Amino acid sequence: MADGVDFNLTGLDGLLGKLDEISDDLRRKGGRAALRRAGNVIVDRAKSNAKRIDDPGTGRSIADNIAIRWNGRLFRRTGDLGFRVGVQYGAVLKKHPDKTANSPTPHWRLLEFGTEKMKAQPFMRPAAENSIDQVVATFTSEYSKAIDRAVARARKKGVPP
């Protein structure tokens, strides 16, 4: 009877190279790019919804101020990837706002959530709720492409010259 069993595995260098390359690529490049493309689906839908309620009499356009931004705070704290979709310049209500083209649109909150005297006309929430299937499909396909590219690079790197 043998006291122990010894295994000797060869060829793990290529596999470890693939795993290292895939995890780094997905966390920093592929995953972030796929998430941004998925977020852009919500941005496009929110812009089309906002164009329906924008007042053409003023130069201010809510649709022009809808943007997607990288959530660096979430990434630094948890390591998770994240983007924020929202309306720029929307935090301050001024007494005499600028009404020229491309100016802030702080009134978007009043339209989105309503007031006690005005019914809500949401455009951001329906954009997110109605495009979930398309967002997931976009993210899945883009993430799959990123994995394939990472595996191809890992194979190229793992092959001895």
CA angle 64, 120, 130 (to 5 degrees): 65
Q: What is the pLDDT of residues 1-30, one digit of tens each?
A: 444 444 454 555 655 555 566 666 566 778
CA angle 92, 35, 131 (to 5 degrees): 75
Instruction: Count Cα atoms within 13 angstroms, Cβ side, for 58.
Output: 18
Collapsing DSSP to helix, strand or coil, 75 comes out as helix
How sure is the predictor about 160, in pLDDT bands with cuts at 50, 70 and 90?
very low
- Domain-by-domain residue ranges, the chain? 23-158
Q: What is the pLDDT of residues 39-85, one digit of tens each?
A: 999 999 999 999 999 887 777 888 988 999 999 998 899 888 889 99
How far from 143 is each of 3, 35, 84, 132, 158, CA to CA, in Å?
Answer: 47, 8, 19, 16, 22
Is pLDDT larger for residue 120 or for residue 6? 120
pLDDT of residue 51: 92
Record the pTM.
0.77
